[in-house]
Amino acid sequence: MQDRNGISAWQLNQNSAAAYEEYLVGRFFRRWAKRLADHAQIAPDERVLDAGCGTGIVARTVAQDRNVTAKVVGLDVNDGMLAEACRRDTDQAVTWQSGALEKLPFDDDEFDVILSQQVLQFVPDREQVLQEFQRVLAPGGRLVLASLRDISFNRSYEALARTLDRHAGKEAGEMMRSPFSGPAPDTLRKELGAAGFRNISIQHDILDVRFPNPAEYLRQEAASSPLAGPLSELDDDRLSALIADLETSLAPFTDDHGVAFPMETYFVKAS
């Protein structure tokens, strides 16, 4: 199909893990991985776990950019994401392992640092996960995680979700909202304290993000997520109507060079 912005192929059926790495990691998660590692202040001889590693950008950043040589492990329950992580780890500097956060396949006190980027908002039982983090951290170890702020602080995504509601259905809109549905900072502070963590510090962080145009913003987000399903079911007329509506909704974020907006997360550090 040919959309109104000249995209000749949407490729919504491409490998979602590869699309996630190419589009979302490339646009913002790589930069946030570097900031996450900076917050952790990791020493080369520390043992590091990237919990819920996805395609592995945090683990690769630690191993390659921070020269951590003791042990770096990337853990995820999604085998497709792990396969992409292995493919990208050309230096074979990371051990990639399949496993659930609710029951970590590691011994007590096995790590000095746990890093986790944009994972807690998808965890059904945060209490269990935080207890597992506590169990596998060595005495004096630390947890550093990132979680997107509520969608009300990420207004371009709020506009996208509402547009999906109107044209692709409420389920599609909720898919877009799910990455922004994590615990509020005060809630997470209490949960961390209940799990035995101390010295809890929370800091907001903002990235500038740019896409070439509204249609490509939609396509890249969809190709990298379950949104590919409901959007693939739209015929050309309905998809064109969605894009036209999205262009209107994103007008406040659009300039002569594309769509630009701030994206907000928060970092949490605890020991």
Burial class (CB in 10 A: 0-12, 13-18, 19+), 60: buried
Provide mean pLDDT across the span 227-238.
90
Residue 19 neighbours by CB under 8 Å, 6+ apart: 11, 220, 223, 224
Query: Which CATH architecture fits 16-151+181-211+261-270?
Result: 3-Layer(aba) Sandwich (3.40)
Q: How far is CA 252 from the centre of its chain?
A: 25
Q: Give me the residue spans of the domains in the chain.
A: 16-151+181-211+261-270
**Strand-strand pairing, 95-98 and 201-211:** unpaired
Q: Give the whole-angstrom CA distance, residue 166 versus residue 246.
A: 10
User: Is the predicted pLDDT of residue 13 greater than 60, yes or no?
Assistant: no
User: Is the predicted pLDDT of residue 11 greater than 70, yes or no?
Assistant: no
CB 151 within 8 A of CB 158: yes
Coil, strand or helix at 32: helix
Whole-structure pTM value: 0.92
Q: How far is CA 155 from the centre of its chain?
A: 17
Closest CA to 33 of 14, 15, 52: 52
75-109 tens-digit pLDDT: 999 999 999 999 999 888 899 999 999 999 999 99
Predicted local confidence at residue 176, as pLDDT: 96
174-214 tens-digit pLDDT: 999 999 999 999 999 999 999 999 999 999 999 999 999 99
pLDDT confidence tier of residue 12, bands split at 50, 70 and 90: low
Cβ atoms < 10 Å from Cβ of 96: 20
Q: Which tokens is 271 given?
A: 């020991």
CB 253 within 8 A of CB 259: yes
